[in-house]
C-alpha cells in the first residue's frame, strides 16, 4: 500500500498535481510526495490502490460529482485558522468601513471560511458595532461564508468548538459575551451571532456570480495555494462581485499586483485593504 513518498513515482505525482489543480485550484510545488502520502494514505489503503496513478484513474472515471473526488479534495485542503486572525482587518472593518454603510444592508463574503472562525469573528464585530452605535447599520446585514471542503463546512455550521479551539485568538470577554457553554469542554456560538452567517460550498475556481454583490470580501491566506494565472482570474472576478467602493482583504503574505486599474491600496497603519475602483 502507499505509505511513503518513495512509493509515489515522479510521473504519478505529476499526474496527481495536474488533476488537483484542475479540479480545485490547489497547486502543489515540486517534491511534495510526502504530503500527498500522509494525507491520502488511509484513503488509498481503504480503496486498495497501490499507486497514485490508480487513484487518478478512478477520479477521472468518477467525474466532478463523485464521492471519491470530494474525499480527496477534503484531505488535501489546509484548514488552519483562529479567531480574529491578524487582528487589524477586524479593527479596520469596525473603525473605518462600518461607519460608511448606512444606506443598505451590509453584505460581507468570507471566502475560504474553514471551520467558521473568520465569519463568526466578523459577526461579532458587527454585533459590537451595532451595540456601540445603535441604528447606524441598516438591519438585515448578511455574511456569506464559503469553503471548498464539505467536511469543514458541516463543522462550521454546527458552530460548536472545544476549549482548545476557543482559546485560539478569543478573549475571555468575547468568549463569555458571544458563546453559550454546552459542557465543560464545549462552547456554541450564540444564535444572535450565528444567525447572520450563511455557509455555502464553493470552489473559487468556479463561478461565484450567483452569490451576488458584496460590500466587503475577506479572501485571506487562500490565494497562496493557487497558480498565478488562477489567482489573477479569481481577483478579477472578486472585483466584479464588489459594489463600487467595496473593500477586499487579503492575507498578510498575499499581495495584489497587476490590478491597479481595479483596486486602490488603502494604508491603515497597521494593515492595508484594497478598495474597488
- CATH number, domain of 125, equals 3.40.50.150
Final residue of a structural domain among 50, 76, 102: 76
pLDDT for residue 4 is more than 50: no
Mean pLDDT (whole number) for 199-217:
95
Read off the C-alpha cell for 257. Answer: 499586483
Average pLDDT over residues 177-205: 95
pLDDT at 236 over 80: yes
Query: ∠ at Cα 252 (147, 124), nearest 5°?
Result: 60
193 has pLDDT over 60: yes
237: phi then psi, degrees, rounded to nearest 5: -70, -30
- Looking at residue 101, what is its pLDDT? 87
* pLDDT given for residue 3 in this prediction: 45
Beta-carbon contacts of 13 under 8 Å, excluding residues fewer than 6 positions away, are 32, 33, 36, 52
* Mean of pLDDT values over 239-252: 94
Do 110 and 52 belong to one domain?
Answer: no
Mean pLDDT computed over every residue of the chain: 90
181 grid coordinates: 457553554
Look at residues 26, 51, 76 and tell me which one is the last residue of a structural domain.
Answer: 76
- Which residues contact residue 1 at a Cβ distance below 8 angstroms, ignoring those fewer than 6 apart? 41, 44, 45, 48, 49, 50
Q: Please compute the mean of the pLDDT values over residues 1-10 and round it to a whole number.
A: 60
Q: Determine contact, residues 82/169, Cβ cutoff 8 Å.
A: yes
179-181 and 160-162 strand pairing: unpaired
Question: What 3-state class would DSSP assign to 110?
Answer: strand
248 is a domain residue = yes
| Residue-number span of the structural domain to which 217 is assigned | 88-276
31 with 97, same domain?
Answer: no
Q: What is the pLDDT of residue 260?
A: 87
> Is 57 within a domain?
yes
Amino acid at each position: 500500500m502507499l505509505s511513503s513518498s518513495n512509493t509515489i513515482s515522479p510521473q504519478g505525482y505529476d499526474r496527481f498535481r495536474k488533476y488537483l489543480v484542475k479540479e480545485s485550484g490547489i497547486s502543489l510545488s515540486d517534491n511534495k510526495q510526502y504530503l500527498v502520502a500522509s494525507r491520502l494514505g488511509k484513503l488509498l489503503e481503504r480503496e486498495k490502490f497501490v499507486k497514485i496513478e490508480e487513484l487518478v484513474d478512478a477520479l477521472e472515471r468518477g467525474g466532478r460529482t463523485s464521492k471519491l473526488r470530494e474525499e480527496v479534495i477534503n484531505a488535501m485542503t489546509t484548514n488552519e485558522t483562529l479567531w480574529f486572525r491578524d487582528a487589524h482587518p477586524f479593527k479596520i472593518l469596525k473603525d473605518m468601513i462600518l461607519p460608511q454603510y448606512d444606506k443598505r444592508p451590509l453584505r460581507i463574503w468570507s471566502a475560504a471560511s474553514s471551520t467558521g472562525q473568520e465569519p463568526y469573528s466578523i459577526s461579532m464585530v458587527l454585533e459590537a458595532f451595532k451595540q456601540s452605535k445603535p441604528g447606524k447599520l441598516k438591519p438585515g446585514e448578511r455574511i456569506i461564508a464559503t469553503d471548498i471542503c464539505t467536511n469543514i463546512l458541516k463543522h462550521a455550521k454546527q458552530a460548536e468548538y472545544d476549549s482548545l479551539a476557543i482559546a485560539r485568538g478569543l478573549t475571555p470577554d468575547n468568549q463569555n459575551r458571544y458563546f453559550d457553554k454546552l459542557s465543560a469542554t464545549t462552547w456554541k456560538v450564540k444564535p444572535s451571532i450565528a444567525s447572520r452567517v450563511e455557509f455555502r460550498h464553493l470552489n473559487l475556481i468556479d463561478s461565484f456570480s450567483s452569490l451576488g454583490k458584496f460590500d466587503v470580501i475577506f479572501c485571506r491566506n487562500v490565494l497562496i495555494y493557487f497558480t498565478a494565472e488562477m489567482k489573477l482570474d479569481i481577483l478579477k472576478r472578486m472585483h466584479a462581485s464588489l459594489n463600487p467602493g467595496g473593500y477586499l482583504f487579503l492575507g498578510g503574505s498575499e499581495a495584489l499586483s497587476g490590478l491597479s486599474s481595479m483596486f486602490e491600496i488603502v494604508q491603515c497603519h497597521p494593515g492595508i485593504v484594497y478598495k474597488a475602483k
